[in-house]
Structure 1
Amino acid sequence: MSALQDRIALVTGAASGIGLATARRFADEGAQVLIADLDAAGLTRALDAMPGSRHEAITLDVTDEPAWIALASRIERQFGHLDVLFNNAGFGKFGSIADTSLDMWRSVIGVNLDSIFLATKYMLPLLEASGHGSIINMSSIRGIAAAPDCASYCAAKGGVRMFTKATALECAAAGNGVRANSIHPGHVATPLTAAAHGDPQVARRLLDDVPIGRIGVPEEIADAVVFLASDAARYMTGAELVVDGGSTAQ
């Protein structure tokens, strides 16, 4: 049997990159996948790229609390539960602290961290109803090891790391069967990072940071997310899974 056979999975930031790669892997493993993103056109393309025909696309602003309330009601009516929640939506804006406006700070925190709070708050009853709910939160190596010119991103991803641990302990204390783990990719080639990787100086600096000697691809992160979502990781909760080619080992 496939690792996620007949499970219902929600993936945010699923129109491209790691989100889409993971949604496809979930589908390959037998899950019915709800792919969510703010990019409606991208979602249409993503849905066309999904294997099988039972998956659904949902236009979602992950920082909008009423949208999460509505989505939770929809999933409850349609399925009665949720098995896997992959909080993947995120982005980064880079520059010095002095050059970061308060609006930009709030935007980065909102999309990367507030969204995970909202998703967890409103999806948790549905995950409890599954009896084996799994939450996977997208953090980053920047949630473990900081770097210059990305203070807002580091703060957000560090917050994701600790919020995930708090969620795991709260769920364990409640005995509700829900696990929560964070995943911490290193440098990965996605549409969001394409501009940086296209700059030869930046690309060389990134490669110098990766002992394994190459940039990762979304499918390598997706494989790790599938593991955390599945019963193969049933004794893992509150953990941080680093997939970074050795960057944080230095």
Structure 2
Amino acid sequence: MSLDMFRLDGKIALVTGGNRGIGLAIATLFGEAGAQVMLTGRTETDAVRSLVEGQPDRFAWVAGDVTDPATPAALVAATLERFGRLDVLVNNAGVADGGNFHEFDDARLARIMETNFTAPFRIARAAIPPMLAQGKGSIVNIGSISGFVANKPQLQVAYNSSKAAIHQMTTVMAFEYASRGIRVNALAPGYVVSDMTANGIANAEMNRVWTENTPMGRFGKPEEMATCALFLASDAASYVTGATLVADGGYITH
């Protein structure tokens, strides 16, 4: 086996939530591995602008609100128009919200589920036809350890449920398309330094609990999640489908 199996030369990738954190790290690494990458998110950040302006033949940007039902098809269409094909989809966009179960209102529930589950469902649904037409593709859905456990000390039943749904969607999609050349896997990060975890990391009590419950005793880095996503997206994982790769410093081992 050659290390070239981890390369993405000639591949076209679409990364949602690619404007910051894990998504940006994934998009950047995919570009370094040879892919051309369409990044999308609600707002274009300085980091994205720098990538696109610095390497316009490798990176492109399209703004989009993934909760808008029209956005998924538009994102795929923009990718096909810009690069001519779609080989890899990374469903990374997501939001978190917490609170007591019996006080969690419908509006907050809808926001979580629409962003974390319905949007990835729709985007994958839009990406499947061009992948079927070319006979090959790879989808990486970003789940979470929260899809396996009840987090502490925060209460976040809606978020956890949305990520569990992503894991199950991954399993069923993988089964349905395995014989047609499309692999579907998920990545379940633990506590990673990002905008989503910034408030918790800054909170002394939450920081202590999260760190103490992670056997490696530290938070993950976006770049560490990116390398896992690269493996799943690349031909190095050619016999891997329906898997959820946990990258959490050992959090769910206890």
Q: TM-score, normalised on structure 1?
A: 0.94
1:46 to 45, 48, 63: 48
Q: What letter is aligned with 2:108?
A: M
Give the equivalent residue in structure 1 for 2:244.
Answer: 240
Q: Give the deviation of 1:81 after TM superposition.
A: 2.2
Q: Give the deviation of 1:109 after TM superposition.
A: 0.6
Give the 3 Å change call, closer, same or farther, for CA 130–26 of structure 1 in structure 2: farther
Distance 1:16 1:67 in 2: 19
Deviates more, 1:46-55 or 1:191-200: 46-55
Cα RMSD, aligned residues only = 1.5
1:10 paired to 2:14 = yes
Cα distance per residue 1:5-54 (max 9 Å; x no partner): 121000000110000001000000000000000123x2x53231466332
2:36 to 11, 20, 32: 32
Contact 1:80 / 1:129 at 8 angstroms: preserved in 2? no
Distance 1:86 1:124 in 2: 13
* Residues matched between the structures, number: 246
1:160 paired to 2:163 = no
Distance 1:130 1:8 in 2: 12
Give the equivalent residue in structure 1 for 2:209.
Answer: 205
Percent identity of equivalent pairs? 35
Unaligned runs of 5+ in 2: none
Pairwise mapping of residues 39-118 of structure 1 onto structure 2 (< 5 A)? 39-40=43-44, 42=45, 44-49=46-51, 52-54=55-57, 55-118=59-122
1:229 paired to 2:233 = yes
Q: Name the SS of the counterpart of 2:19 in structure 1.
A: coil
Q: TM-score, normalised on structure 2?
A: 0.92
Unaligned runs of 5+ in 1: none
Distance 2:167 2:239 in 1: 18
1:150 paired to 2:156 = yes
Contact 1:81 / 1:129 at 8 angstroms: preserved in 2? no
